[in-house]
Amino acid sequence: MGLASEVARIEEFLSSLGLDPLQGLTVVAAASLPDISLDPGMGLLVLDIHSPSVLLQVKARLLNFYPGDHRISFIGKGGVTETSLDSLDRWEGKGDLVAIYLPPYPPGRDRTLWGLKKIVAALRGPGGCPWDREQTHESLKPCLLEETYEVLEAIGEGDKSKLQEELGDLLLQVVFHAQIAEEEGSFTLQDSLETICRKMRRRHPHVFGGEVLPGARAVLKKWEEIKVQENKGKRDLFAYPKGLPALARAFKVQEKAARKGFDWSEMEGVWAKVEEELRELKGACQGGQPSLIEAELGDLLFAVVNLARWLGVEPESALNRAVQRFIKRFHYMQDKIEKGGRDMEKLALEDWDKLWEETKNIEK
């Protein structure tokens, strides 16, 4: 069908519905109906519905954005018929169905990436939120990190409801950064989406190309080869994000170095290195030079991470659990102090020690 005849067909549908396209209208073929980028706040005309299977697919996608009782118009060879979205696949004349029209449903925007983008733009725009308007890529870094860890926490707890909420919070951070970049003229959210889509197709030639890879290990090897090609042949053995938590980054760097043969031959050397770094830190503290103290403390932490690797312990998880144990014990002490009518800030050190040992004994 040529362009002129297609335009004439759409104009015929609009005329039968009494619609003015200048008021906002999305026209899409059923086979191309989007899952995420749809804007339910505008009228939607879905064309080329010629089979029951296509009709079912259209209904399933539309229910992601519209309620089942949303009124729609069937456009068939016999004219226009109105019913609800829930009744779409039960329409008796579906063999003659050509298109359907859905009037605007603004609340459906809350289920789209486009809707979230509009909210962030409003927060950042004139008359928006003072706090949101002041934010920068740099100032939002702690928020992004915090939301990422909250997602990980929800996954660790197996709480699907919490995970749903936390993924939304994390997505907000992504859209927020993209909005700032768009205001600066750097890039848009669509640019980021295009970049990741192209990257995923490029790095999965066994899915989106004709290459055959026998298993997961071969896939990982191919992934690394493609990354090297993308970096114009440059291979960085320690190409881990600098923003990765320091313990986790140290652990990964040491693992990679050990695979290349740079490692202790026995456990005694690891223990000796920790003790050596501790002595050097004590010496630096006696000298009182802040930069040297920081350097030696860093060396000690790095050596302890290496010890964790030899012990088969993931240091980030170990420290997180230690923090949780401390919080639990402190809460116990706090409750006991408050129930005794005492002031925490005026408690003697020996009283704190006694309470601490008491909490440890309770855990045994």
pLDDT tens per residue across all 364 residues of the chain = 555 566 676 777 777 777 776 667 888 888 888 766 678 888 888 888 877 788 888 888 888 889 999 988 887 776 777 888 888 776 655 556 678 888 889 888 888 888 899 999 999 999 999 999 999 999 999 899 899 889 988 887 889 999 999 999 999 999 999 999 999 999 999 999 999 999 999 889 888 888 888 888 788 778 778 877 877 756 666 666 666 788 888 888 888 788 778 888 899 999 999 999 999 999 999 988 899 999 999 999 999 999 999 999 988 888 888 888 899 888 988 888 888 888 888 888 888 888 888 888 877 6
Residue 271's pLDDT is what?
Answer: 94
Per-residue pLDDT, 288: 85
As a whole number of angstroms, the distance between CA 336 and CA 359 comes to 10
């809460």: which residue's tokens? 331
* Residue at 46: amino acid letter: V
d(CA 131, CA 153): 27
Integer Cα distance of 321 and 306 in angstroms:
18
Q: What is the structure's pLDDT at 308?
A: 93
Closest C-alpha to 284, from 299, 272, 273, 269: 299
- pTM for the model stands at 0.63
CB atoms closer than 10 angstroms to residue 99: 22
Distance of alpha carbon 283 from alpha carbon 275, whole angstroms: 13
> 180 CB contacts (<8 Å, ≥6 apart)?
124, 135, 136, 137, 140
d(CA 180, CA 137): 7
Whole-number pLDDT of residue 168: 95
Residue 139 is predicted with a pLDDT of 95
Q: Name 124's Cβ contacts closer than 8 Å, sequence gap at least 6.
A: 132, 133, 179, 180, 183
Position 275, amino acid: E
Q: How high is the pLDDT of residue 135?
A: 95
Q: State the DSSP code for 81.
A: E
